[in-house]
Amino acid sequence: MPTFAAIDIGSNSCRLKIARVVAHRLKTVHEDREVTRLGSSVFESGLVSPEAMALTLRALKRFQRAVQAHAADRIRVVATAALRDARNAPAFQAWVKAETGWSLEIISGLEEGRLIHRGIMSAEPGVGGRVLLVDLGGGSCEVTLSEHKRIKETVSLPLGAVRLTEGFLTAEPPSAEGLAQMRQLIGRELRRARRKISVERVSLVIATSGTAAALAEASAALFKNGRSAKKSTRLAGLLQPGPGVALTPQVRKLARRLAKMPLPEREAMAGIGPRRAEIIVAGAEVYAELLEHFGLPGFRYSSLGLRDGMLSQMLAEQDTRATSHREFEHERWESVLATARRYGVDPRQAEPVRAHALQLYRELRSLHELPGDYEHWLAAAAFLRDTGKFINHQGHHRHTQYVISSSELYGYTPVQRTIVSAIARYLGKSRPSPGDRALRNIPAEEHRNVHRAVLLLRLAVALNQDRASDVLRVAAKIYPKRVYIEIEPGRTGAELEIWSLRKEADYFREVFGRELFPTLA
């Protein structure tokens, strides 16, 4: 039974969750959390302080002992808003690598929102229709609109509780001026979010992370499990008064009360505690403003979040029989298609190249010996190979590499995006070499695989010389010293394709050590 570990390094705290696969489902076997305030100095100075780095690394070493004790087969470590903003993030990544051996991945706000959505939708029972997900962390707030368990839109707002506290609420208790300035910023960001997200017909609001948990528990204690529910006329479906639910009037009253309290009183409140009390004023204000701004009745707290999404994706990538596998593949490919549309790619031209690239990958598998992931990466590179033409036809392969590596492709890590961009980069006269910028951020052990994937895509392109309406049928056959690509001529023959394939023969011999013979079937 495979075991996965997910570590989320947030702006306020680090969290670990370890899960074992049982009957194609995830079963949690261990959880841990440590408040490290990694973002406390970032939002003011732009740098992670050495103290915050050391504290976070100490937590990671403790997590590492748990990961080793549970013999995790795969570990994924991600960081969010604090390291997205920190100028010295690469130094911290290098430190984590040196001390733990883990590669720390800094994910975008949109990827964070996607993973949170995956975590909730894969494990929350009975959630459907139009649902709004809100994750308020230390550095950012991700708001996602989901419809029938598919993401319709996601926005990432710089409204994290630590960020706002450091920026506006340095006095104790908070000053009226600081609160007013903070509310002004929150309002501006929510207006920006509303231009992208429509909450019409939203049946449920699900909030995640520690601030939502604290507000739900404090509301339950102060307002006796929803005594003010009669004042809300929009309660519907799954949002009913009770444990884990905070109604909008309650959140507003709680935000006002918290803003007037000194720190010791906030620390003594039910559900808040000493560490959360320092940032709860900002968090409560964001939730109150968001719920009122969108005209929502309240939220329901969920303990699921980013780590659950990471674990669900690991399961989907490895276990093809898991129910989440097809969802993940669909979501990932939809992201590729959306990027292609954004940059004006003609699917009639791209699809035959993708199909031939995948056919060659499968029929030449014993020759290229590429890992299974390259099948997906090759397909993405084939479909996105012309995105650079959106910028300029001249030198478009270089532009393609930039577009793909910089795009938000859901389900692809930064390294995976870079590999896809490198495969699509070398379709002109140039060939991959170790010192190239396109290969700079790809692990050295992957360079050989990239070379081989590049050649497969070059062959697929050679087989499609402006043939959107007359796609050729081909077959690849491997012999000890030769590889034959047999082509069944189309209505206009196949001479141009034969000539294009012959041009790749020298490169083919260099990469695979065999002669390439294109022939007519």
Query: Is the model more confident about 357 or about 432?
Result: 357
Burial of 266 (0-12, 13-18, 19+ CB in 10 A): buried
pLDDT band at 59 (very low <50, low <70, confident <90, very high): very high
**How far is it, in rounded angstroms, from Cα 210 to Cα 254?**
16
Residue 228, pLDDT > 50, answer no
Mean pLDDT of the 95-112 span: 93
Burial of 194 (0-12, 13-18, 19+ CB in 10 A): middle
Q: What are the tens digits of pLDDT across the range 109-164?
A: 888 998 999 999 888 767 778 999 999 999 999 999 999 888 889 999 999 999 99
Q: What are the tens digits of pLDDT across the range 176-216?
A: 999 999 999 999 999 999 999 998 889 899 999 899 999 99
| Alpha-carbon torsion angle 199, 203, 206, 211, nearest 10 | 70
Q: What is the CATH number assigned to the segment(s) 320-520? A: 1.10.3210.10
Domain with CATH 3.30.420.40 in the chain: 3-106+308-314
Task: Tell me how crowded residue 160 is: count the other CB atoms within 10 A of its CB.
Answer: 30
Tokens 């990671």 correspond to what residue?
Answer: 60
Domain with CATH 3.30.420.150 in the chain: 125-303
Looking at residue 230, its pLDDT comes to 44
**Weakest mean pLDDT among 26-35, 123-132, 263-272, 504-513:** 123-132
| Alpha-carbon torsion angle 333, 337, 340, 342, nearest 10 | -120
Task: Yes or no: say if 335 and 409 are a contact pair by the CB < 8 Å rule.
Answer: yes
Looking at residue 236, its pLDDT comes to 40
Looking at residue 279, its pLDDT comes to 93
Task: Tell me how crowded residue 13 is: count the other CB atoms within 10 A of its CB.
Answer: 22
Q: What is the CATH number assigned to the segment(s) 3-106+308-314? A: 3.30.420.40
Looking at residue 469, its pLDDT comes to 60
Amino acid at 378: L
Strand order in the sheet with 150-157: 150-157, 141-147, 130-136, 204-208, 298-301, 245-247
Looking at residue 226, its pLDDT comes to 47
Looking at residue 466, its pLDDT comes to 65
Looking at residue 172, its pLDDT comes to 87
Looking at residue 392, its pLDDT comes to 92
**How far is it, in rounded angstroms, from Cα 301 to Cα 215?**
9
Looking at residue 329, its pLDDT comes to 84
Mean pLDDT of the 501-507 span: 95
Residue 19 has phi, psi (to 5 degrees) of -135, 145
Task: Tell me how crowded residue 491 is: count the other CB atoms within 10 A of its CB.
Answer: 7
What global pTM score does this model have?
0.80
Looking at residue 224, its pLDDT comes to 67
Q: What are the tens digits of pLDDT across the range 426-443?
A: 998 888 887 888 888 888
Task: Yes or no: say if 346 and 422 are a contact pair by the CB < 8 Å rule.
Answer: no
Nearest to 137 by CA among 155, 160, 159: 160
Looking at residue 240, its pLDDT comes to 52
**How far is it, in rounded angstroms, from Cα 474 to Cα 487?**
5
Dmax (CA) of the chain = 83
Average pLDDT of the residues of the chain? 90
Task: Measure the CA angle with vertex 208, ends 206 and 209; round to 5°.
Answer: 165
Domain with CATH 1.10.3210.10 in the chain: 320-520
Looking at residue 220, its pLDDT comes to 87
Q: What is the CATH number assigned to the segment(s) 125-303? A: 3.30.420.150
Q: What are the tens digits of pLDDT across the range 289-344?
A: 999 999 999 999 999 999 999 999 999 888 777 667 777 888 889 999 999 999 99
pLDDT band at 484 (very low <50, low <70, confident <90, very high): very high
- List all residues 6 or more positions away from 367 whose beta carbon is below 8 Å from its beta carbon: 478, 483, 512, 514
Mean pLDDT of the 98-110 span: 93
Amino acid at 390: F
